[in-house]
């Protein structure tokens, strides 16, 4: 099963600019497997990522290493659903590799 790692900044500026709203929206996704999506969602609230330029780029969210500045809930959710739909399933990968040989 694949994995999506999401880091949501919980620093002061990001919190003031809506990072907790983004985290709540992500939590509302619940269990992706119930939707037929076979991907683990690892959401971590992290201390200040020190990327926000004193709040000018807040809130900051990092998804699988890609940083989103001035992140909006809709953008983050769209990215997560896109990644989840294309999430590699370890069983499917092994089957494809064996079929190719």
The answer to the question of residue 97 being in a domain is: no
The answer to the question of residue 100 being in a domain is: no
What's the whole-model pTM score? 0.77
The answer to the question of residue 101 being in a domain is: no
Q: What is the pLDDT along the chain (101 residues), one digit of tens a residue?
A: 578 899 999 999 999 999 999 999 988 876 655 666 667 888 899 998 787 788 889 999 999 999 999 999 999 999 988 888 887 654 444 333 444 43
CATH of the domain at 36: 3.40.30.10
Residues 73 and 58: their CA atoms lie apart, in Å, by 12
Residues 1 and 18: their CA atoms lie apart, in Å, by 31
Q: In this predicted structure, what is the pLDDT of residue 97?
A: 40
Number of domains in the chain: 1
Domain range for 78: 2-92
């Amino acid at each position: 099963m694949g994995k999506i790692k999401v880091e949501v900044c919980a620093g002061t500026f990001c919190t003031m600019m809506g990072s907790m709203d983004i985290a709540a929206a992500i939590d509302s996704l619940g269990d992706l497997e119930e939707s037929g999506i076979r991907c683990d969602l690892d959401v971590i609230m992290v201390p200040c990522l020190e990327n926000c330029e004193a709040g000018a780029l807040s809130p900051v969210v990092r998804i699988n290493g890609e940083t989103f500045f001035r992140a909006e809930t809709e953008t983050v959710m769209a990215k997560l659903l896109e990644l989840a739909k294309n999430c590699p399933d370890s069983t499917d990968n092994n089957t494809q590799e064996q079929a190719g040989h």
